[in-house]
């Protein structure tokens, strides 16, 4: 009888512990599928894009949390030109280890972009790829920085976006086209 009570107690105590892991695992799979479901042409994304104000506040809050992995794109605006070049307004405070070359004075001028398939956990979805390079004189070699943005269409408007931090947190850096 004592063994049965012990087994029952261990079983009941292990259910919440096991369910926490299961719930965490399930929550990652339940990340909203915020992706466009059609092919996107380069001409559709040419223009000026600006980070929405609410996203800027969320990014700044995220950056202040030193214990979190830094998964953000470090710019507030981007201009995608028809010739495949781009310009970005870099926010230096948002640059972390992997983006160190973005701090180099010559790097922003090397920005190029194209519409491409972007990896999303289990498949690829349409997105915009950005590329920057910097010639490191000390190493006598080029360093390259890549960044991908996803595309979603909401109410007939394209939005370029990236996660703020981890995907399961469902925080987004949205960029909307500036009407000129």
Q: Is residue 7 pLDDT above 60, yes or no? A: no
Least reliable range by pLDDT among 7-16, 23-32, 55-64, 108-117: 7-16
**Of 40, 65, 63, 1, nearest in space to 177 by CA:** 40
For residue 5 the two structure tokens come to 């009570």
For residue 128 the two structure tokens come to 């915009």
Q: How confident is the model at residue 1 (pLDDT cuts 50, 70, 90)?
A: low
The pLDDT of residue 135 is 85
Residue 92's SS3 state is helix
CA angle, residues 119, 70, 150, in degrees to nearest 5 = 30
The pLDDT of residue 9 is 41
Structural domain boundaries in the chain: 1-30, 34-177
Q: How confident is the model at residue 163 (pLDDT cuts 50, 70, 90)?
A: confident
How far is it, in rounded angstroms, from Cα 19 to Cα 170? 21
Least reliable range by pLDDT among 15-19, 42-46, 55-59, 170-174: 15-19
Q: Is residue 31 pLDDT above 70, yes or no? A: no
Q: How confident is the model at residue 102 (pLDDT cuts 50, 70, 90)?
A: confident
Q: Are 150 and 34 in contact (CB under 8 A)?
A: yes
Distances (CA, A) of 56 to 60, 65, 142, 173: 6, 15, 31, 7
For strand 47-51 and strand 172-177, is the pairing parallel, antiparallel, or unpaired? Answer: antiparallel
Strand partners, 90: 75
- Distance in angstroms between the alpha carbons of the first and the last residue of the chain: 79
Mean pLDDT of all residues in 108-113: 91
């Amino acid at each position: 009888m004592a063994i049965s009570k012990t087994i029952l107690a261990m079983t009941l105590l292990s259910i919440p512990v096991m369910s926490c892991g299961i719930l965490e695992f399930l929550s990652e799979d339940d990340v909203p599928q915020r992706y466009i479901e059609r092919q996107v042409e380069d001409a559709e994304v040419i223009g000026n894009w600006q980070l929405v104000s609410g996203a800027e506040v969320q990014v700044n809050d995220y950056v202040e949390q030193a214990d979190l992995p830094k998964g953000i794109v470090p710019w507030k605006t981007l201009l995608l030109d028809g010739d495949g070049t781009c310009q970005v307004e870099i926010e230096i405070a948002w640059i972390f280890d992997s983006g160190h070359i973005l701090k180099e004075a010559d790097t922003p001028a090397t920005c190029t972009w194209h519409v491409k398939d972007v990896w999303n956990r289990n498949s690829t979805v349409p997105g915009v790829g950005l590329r920057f390079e910097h010639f490191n004189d000390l190493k006598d070699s080029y360093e390259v920085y890549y960044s991908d943005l996803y595309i979603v269409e909401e109410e007939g408007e394209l939005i370029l976006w990236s996660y703020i931090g981890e995907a399961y947190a469902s925080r987004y850096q949205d960029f909307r086209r500036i009407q000129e």
